[in-house]
Amino acid sequence: MDNPKLFDVSRLVAIDTHVHIEPDAPDNAADEAARKYFGEAGAPRDRQGLAQYYRSRNMGCIVFSVDERLTGRPQVPNEEVIALAAEHADIMLAFASVDPTRGFEAISEARRLINAGVRGFKLHPPLMQFHANDRQAYPFYEAVAEAKLPVIFHTGHSGIGTGMRGGGGVRLKYGNPMDIDDVAVDFPDMPIIMAHPSFPWQDEAISVCLHKPQVYIDLSGWSPKYFPPNLIQYANTLLKNKVLFGSDFPLITPDRWLADFAKIAIKDEVRPLILKENAVRLLGLS
């Protein structure tokens, strides 16, 4: 597509805040276990197919690939994520992923990527094997907070590793959203998105989101038909301006997510907030 118009929210029906770019590599045991857990979504796994999928549905998306070594699943280089988003700038925003426990290397990489134009960062504490409030990650947060960019943190149960021997080495404790409460206190101007319904800590996630103004929840990684009642209750009321649509593509497609979302008890006036308007405000797209 030649010279696509920059992210045009006026014509988008939704913004998917949680989209993984797949590496050009054969599936490994973690990939196979994830497919068994989530089911076969039938999503296009190539990058141009991903772009065509979202453009054909008039949806925007945040794209990224996770920097982790635990599962052996290779990261798509951040530079390639940025290049893909630039090629499809009418529908894509690039987030980078950098393991914040890597000291000066992580900080310098974060600053380089910020200068390259990333719109935020994605961290996965269970796969990166750190607590979000570990002080070794704070210099990384300082660099991101200085740029006033958002960070997406995986929270709750991990579909990656589920059913594998020893859970594939994934320690679920790193997904406790209460760790993020400390980060929100110490970096009050850094927007935070807690990814996924945070089973088994949904009440904790709601509390942190309710208490800290810059904290949001994305609804990715679960079909809406499995959302717990307390999450639906708060999404309809006190958190209606702080909940975001996310799919977890390609493991869950927007088509499946939206079909199930239409069947749950979300108020009509709240649906457009979740699907698009909250993300527009958070990301400064208006």
**How does pLDDT run across 129-148, given as a tens digit for each residue?**
999 999 999 999 999 999 99
Tokens linked to 38 = 């989530």
Residue 256 lies in a domain: yes
Residue 4 lies in a domain: no
**Bigger pLDDT: 101 or 6?**
101
What is the mean predicted confidence (pLDDT) over 36-59? 91
Residue 94 lies in a domain: yes
Asked whether residue 174 carries a pLDDT value surpassing 80, the answer given is yes
Residue 229 lies in a domain: yes
The enclosing domain of 62 has a CATH number of: 3.20.20.140
Asked whether residue 56 carries a pLDDT value surpassing 80, the answer given is yes
CA–CA gap between residue 214 and residue 150 (Å, rounded): 9
Nearest CA to 123 out of 93, 154, 95 is that of 154
Confidence of residue 38 (pLDDT cuts 50, 70, 90): confident
Whole-model pTM over 0.75: yes
**Percent of the chain having pLDDT more than 90?**
87
Task: Count how many domains the chain has.
Answer: 1
Amino acid at 157: H
pLDDT at 5: 64
CA–CA gap between residue 85 and residue 65 (Å, rounded): 12
Q: Which residue segment(s) compose the domain that 111 sits in?
A: 9-283
Residue in this structure with the two tokens 């208006």, named with its chain if needed:
286
Q: Is residue 24 within 8 Å of 68, Cβ to Cβ?
A: no
Residue 126 lies in a domain: yes
Residue 2 lies in a domain: no
CA–CA gap between residue 53 and residue 253 (Å, rounded): 10
Tokens linked to 166 = 């020893």
Residue 1 lies in a domain: no
Asked whether residue 3 carries a pLDDT value surpassing 50, the answer given is no
Residue 3 lies in a domain: no
